[in-house]
Every structure is written in C-alpha cells, then in structure tokens.
Amino acid sequence: MAKIIDGKKISADIKEEIREEILQRKEKGEEVTLAVVLVGEDPASQVYVRNKKKACEFVGIRSLSYELAADTTQEELLSLVDKLNRDESVNGILVQLPLPKQIDEDAVIRAIDPKKDVDGFHPMSVGALSIGQPGYVSCTPAGIIQLLKRSDIPMDGKNCVIVGRSNIVGKPMAMLMLRENATVTVTHSHTKNLKDITRQADILIVAIGKTKFITADYVKEGATVIDVGMDRDENGKLCGDVDFDSVEKVVGAITPVPGGVGPMTIAMLMKNCLTSLELK
C-alpha cells in the first residue's frame, strides 16, 4: 500500500506557520497586503479568488479586491496594475488567469512590478529561478517541493521525470528539482516512448490535464507519484492526471486528487506574500 501524501494537512501546517510569522511581523509594525484582481465572471476563477481571499484572512494578510467587468479593456487593466505597482501599501499583486480574450495575458504579467509578482509568472521571476537567484517561485511547483520535503522523500540524486512543460508547472518544476540536485527529464506531447521514460522515475510529476492518463504500466514499483492534474471524470467528479486506483497499488507514495497538490498552491501563495516583505 502506498503512502498517501496528505496535501491538506501539509498545507494547513504551512498556513499555521505563516500565520505565526505574520503575527510577529505585525507586532513590529509590518503588514502584508495582497491586491487580487479578477476580470469577468468565470465561475472557476471566482472560486479560486474566493479561496485565496479566505486564506489571506486566515493567515492575517490584508486583501484588496478588484472585480472588473468581462469587457474591461487591456488599457484599463494595465492602468489598474500601474496604480497598484505605485501603491506603497500593496506588497503583492495577483491577476487571476485566464483573462478575457481581448486582453493579452503576457502584457499584463510583464506589467506587474517583479517585486510584487507573488504568482512568480513575470519573466524576471522565471529568470531568477533559472539562475538560482532569490525571487518569487510559481506556487504549484514550490508547493510540490514542500510536499516532498515534508514527507521525507529524498530528491538528491534521484531520477525525476516531469510530464508536461507548461510555464506555470512543468518548466519551473524542472528548475526546482535541479536546485534539489535531482536528475531531471522533462517530457511533453512530442515525447516518444513516454512509458519507457516514466518507468525510470524515482519521482514522477504529472501535469498534463488529461483525466487518469497515467496508469500502473507508466510507473516503477516503489516510485513517488505527484499528480498535479485537476480534471473531471465521466461523472463530473474531480480527479487527476493519474489513475489513482491502479497506480496506488504499485508505487511507494502518491498524492490524491483532491487533497494533494491543490491545497499547496494557495499555501505557497501566502508564503510568497510573506516573501514580499523581504523583496520590498
């Protein structure tokens, strides 16, 4: 039976630690403020934003909420970002993605002051991560490192295979695993013989957005499997990119969906907000 990596518990521990630290900082007169910008009425985005604000409230971060109409122009959004960049009382700026199609997401990400880029998506943050300099790290991959560390799963010298090369998960994940001295292979939709590669993994991290794609024949016995996917099965139930029921019987440790990687993303966002005090 595999060890089930409990993201709910680990994220709760991290949020508790952050709450403590924010309390101490407050006693020294320091306050953290996160500006959360939502454009339009996408139901999933509304849930994410609500959960982020709830987490802020729990840890003691002040959150400012900007809810803009779906037909907001790029100029209007950029002007708000500019205002928040210049506002000394704002430490972090989060623009919830995806944005409506009339707005160029890259332009908005680039417009955020890198010192306030708590999502870690700005090219400056990505560059700093690549060359091992301090800066914000994309929350989901940063959360996966915490899941592994806090579950005592060693990364040094291990074979890590990442399935998926997105800018928000796969690529920063590879950089972080290199920082932990793992030997890293990144695979994607053009990869040949994927199974042969994933079966070499001591740590297999899957972020492709394909329901239950990774089955038991993709994994090595005793491996650790991290499932980033947030998909829906044929009954509309939330599930991952990994076929949990078959894979769990073979591997040494695995994250469930829900309750694995998902809760870590918001915990690491709170951590990045705390980092904003150092980068100010």
Strand ranges (E), 56-172: 62-68, 92-95, 159-163
9 or 188, CB closer to ligand NAP?
Answer: 188
State yes or no: is 52 an active-site residue: yes
Query: What is the smallest separation between the CB atom of 32 and ligand NAP, expressed in angstroms?
Result: 21
Instruction: Tell me the one-letter amino acid at 84.
Output: L
197 or 253, CB closer to ligand NAP?
Answer: 197
Contact status, residue 266 vs residue 49, Cβ threshold 8 Å: no
What residue spans of 60-135 are helical by DSSP H? 74-86, 105-111, 123-130
33 or 138, CB closer to ligand NAP?
Answer: 138
Cα 118 from Cα 271, distance rounded (Å): 9
Phi-psi region of 9 (alpha: psi -120 to 50; beta: other; left: phi over 0): alpha
Q: Residue 265 interacts with ligand NAP (CB under 6 A)? A: yes
Q: Which two tokens stand for residue 87?
A: 């506002």
Question: Site mask, ligand NAP, residues 124-153, x = CB under 6 A?
Answer: ----------------x-------------
Cα–chain center distance at 136: 11
The angle subtended at Cα 206 by Cα 203 and Cα 208, nearest 5°, is 165
Q: Residue 201 interacts with ligand NAP (CB under 6 A)? A: no
Catalytic choice (96, 115, 158, 202): 96
84 or 268, CB closer to ligand NAP?
Answer: 268
Which residue in 79, 89, 102, 189 binds ligand NAP (CB under 6 A)?
189
Question: Site mask, ligand NAP, residues 214-243, x = CB under 6 A?
Answer: --------------xxxx------------
Q: Residue 279 interacts with ligand NAP (CB under 6 A)? A: no
Cα 278 from Cα 280, distance rounded (Å): 6
90 or 141, CB closer to ligand NAP?
Answer: 141
Query: What is the smallest separation between the CB atom of 76 and ligand NAP, expressed in angstroms?
Result: 26
Strand ranges (E), 19-61: 33-39
Question: Site mask, ligand NAP, residues 63-92, x = CB under 6 A?
Answer: ------------------------------
State yes or no: is 156 an active-site residue: no
State yes or no: is 119 an active-site residue: yes
Cα–chain center distance at 54: 17
Cα 237 from Cα 249, distance rounded (Å): 21
Cα 173 from Cα 140, distance rounded (Å): 8
Which residue in 10, 59, 109, 207 binds ligand NAP (CB under 6 A)?
207
Catalytic choice (6, 15, 52, 115): 52
Rg (CA), the chain: 19
Chain residues in the site for ligand NAP (CB under 6 A): 140, 163-166, 168-170, 187-191, 194, 207-210, 228-231, 261-262, 265
Please identify every residue annotated as catalytic.
52, 96, 119
